[in-house]
Amino acid sequence: MSRRGQTTRETDWLTIFLYLGIVGIGFLMIYAVGYSEHPDVFDFSAKHGVQLRWIGISLVVGIFTLILDARFFRFFAYPIYGFSVLLLVAVLLFGVEIAGSRSWFNIPFLGRFQPAEFAKFGACLALAAFLSGFNVSLSKSMKQRLQAMAIILIPMGLILLQGDAGSALVFTALFIVLFRAGMPALLYMIGLIVVALSVIALLFEPLAILGILSLFFMLVFIGNFRERQLWWLLAFTGLVTMTYLGYQYDIMEYMLALDGTVLLLLAVLLSQRKRGKLVGLIMGILVMSTLYAFSVNYAFNNILESHQQDRLNVWLKPGEVDPLGAGYNLRQSKLAIGSGGLAGRGFLKGEITRLKYVPEQSTDFIFCTIGEEHGFIGSFVLIGLYISLILRITFVAERQREVFSRMYAYGVASILFFHFFINIGMTMGVMPIIGIPLPLVSYGGSSLLSFTILLAVLIKLDNTRLTRI
């Protein structure tokens, strides 16, 4: 068999067909959003016309990527990463500010370009190159863990400086790659606990968290308390309750309540000498958790911008948010999705879509259009395509012989999953609204081109998996 015939046979056509299917659905939905004002499919002044142009550019770039030698991406992984970081620095200096975020370049004839999207590709390549290096072991070397995390955190920090928290959070998905590469599971457990505590800190007062955690740890010891020590249990419960009530009704000062609880834990420590180390550890956890809760509340009220506070409040406290103010987007999004029913209103027949009742419906909230016009069935089909694509990429990752190709594939799957899960979740109110596009569907050339390159490089690496790169 000829080299060309073998290359064609080894090409992962299923991934290509899934990609083309999702891109096609995206174009139709963007067209549906602007149909009432621009009915001509080839109206290049409309958003769907601009998107059609970007689809053409992305396909050309994707085909060119497939022509390149697969070794190119490994040998130039770090230079590509460095170039993407330089673009992030350049956009801070020379970029265009839109909606409070300096994240865009204006390119003649093409419109806006967002370097953060290209940085995802650069980070995937650099992380794969590092993890495939000689004698790299994240399970043993703390230095190598920090180096791997730095590859993720550098572009993430630069994007945060641009004021685009949503795009920055996408890079946290690459920690899934580190886990697959051997990062200790304990670090992820600690991370999940910190995230959970952050959410709890925004829902409850810090002292309430102290009381809840204190009661929880108290129950750990309840089985070991002898009858003569029951008074310690009653005293512990009573004082924790009193300190919380005192804080709630301003009867005692903040620090007095905290100090009283710490002194109480010291008393427990002294009464349980045999278990002193364990109780001391628990006391430290309680104090640190409470201080962290205070810091989360302070950051929320004094560091975050008002629109960022509104987005979190819409997610965590929807009943307390003005439905015509900060909660308007989510309210309209749910109405649009719910109005579609089982089979939807029909293509180009969505009233909420046609009358533009949902802001940003061609970008962040484009899933509303799918839900309204095609209902549960159409939404299920699109979600099924995404899940199929992610599972396919995971399968492709596991069949790679080279560590570089495997780690890169997991990077692509992680970023795609994060976008897909968060975007659809935020349109239904189960995830915070952080302003990231639905991959390959939302309007935007930067995002479409970025995911096209990510997938094209993956297909090229998989195409040469039987030969060393």
Burial class (CB in 10 A: 0-12, 13-18, 19+), 122: buried
219 in the same domain as 172: no
DSSP character at residue 95 = P
The one-letter amino acid code at 440 reads L
Q: Are residues 167 and 214 in the same domain?
A: no
Q: Can you tell me whether residue 106 is helix, strand or coil?
A: strand
pLDDT single digits (tens) 106-142: 877 667 889 999 999 999 999 999 999 888 888 888 9
> Does 404 reside within a domain?
yes
In a domain, residue 333? The reply is no
One domain, residues 92 and 70: yes
Rounded CA-CA distance 431/433 in Å is 7
User: Does the residue 350 lie in any domain?
Assistant: no
In a domain, 342, yes or no: no
CA distances from 105 to 113, 187, 287, 446 (A): 5, 37, 46, 10
Of 382, 379, 373, nearest to 428 by C-alpha is 379
Given this model, what pLDDT does residue 355 score? 79
The answer as to whether 299 is a domain residue is yes
* Co-location of 204 and 291 in the same domain: yes
User: Which residue, 303, 330, 364, sits at the end of a domain?
Assistant: 303
Q: Are residues 30 and 123 in the same domain?
A: yes
Domain boundary among 275, 303, 331: 303
Tens-binned pLDDT, residue by residue, of the chain (469 aa) = 444 444 556 789 999 999 999 999 999 999 999 888 888 888 888 899 999 999 999 999 999 999 999 999 999 999 999 999 999 999 999 888 877 778 888 877 667 889 999 999 999 999 999 999 888 888 888 999 999 999 999 999 999 998 888 899 999 999 999 999 989 988 888 888 888 888 888 887 766 666 666 656 655 555 555 544 555 555 556 556 655 655 555 554 444 455 455 555 555 555 555 555 666 666 677 777 778 888 888 888 888 878 788 888 888 887 777 677 778 888 888 999 989 999 889 998 888 887 788 888 888 899 999 999 999 999 999 999 999 999 999 999 999 999 999 999 999 999 999 999 999 999 988 888 888 999 999 998 899 999 999 999 999 999 987 776 5
461, two tokens: 């690496």
**From CA 58, how far away is CA 49, in angstroms rounded?**
14
Q: What are the residues facing 97 on neighbouring strands?
A: 102
107 backbone dihedrals φ, ψ, rounded to 5° = -110, 125
Considering 303, 331, 347, which residue would you say is the last residue of a domain?
303
Predicted structure pTM score: 0.86
Asked whether 462 and 12 are in contact (CB, 8 A), the reply is: yes
Whether residue 30 is found in the same domain as residue 99: yes
* C-alpha to C-alpha distance for 193 and 188, rounded to whole angstroms: 8
Question: Are 110 and 214 in the same domain?
Answer: no
- The closest of 433, 367, 466 to 1, measured between CA atoms, is 466
Given a contact cutoff of 8 angstroms between Cβ atoms, the answer to whether 50 and 445 are in contact is yes
User: By residue range, what is the domain housing residue 220?
Assistant: 196-303
Q: Is residue 285 part of a domain?
A: yes
Enter the tokens of residue 158.
């630069």
The answer on 176 and 209 residing in a single domain is no
In a domain, 56, yes or no: yes
Domains in the chain, number: 2
Measuring CA to CA, how many Å separate 124 from each of 53, 197, 343, 453? 26, 29, 38, 11
Give me the helices (H) in 39-114, please: 47-67, 71-75, 77-94
End-to-end, the C-alpha distance of the chain in Å comes to 21
Same domain, 55 and 87: yes
Is the domain of 146 the same as that of 277?
Answer: no
Considering the domain boundaries, does residue 341 fall inside one? no
Of 200, 207, 190, 219, nearest in space to 262 by CA: 207
Q: Within this chain, do residues 269 and 412 fall inside the same structural domain, yes or no? A: no
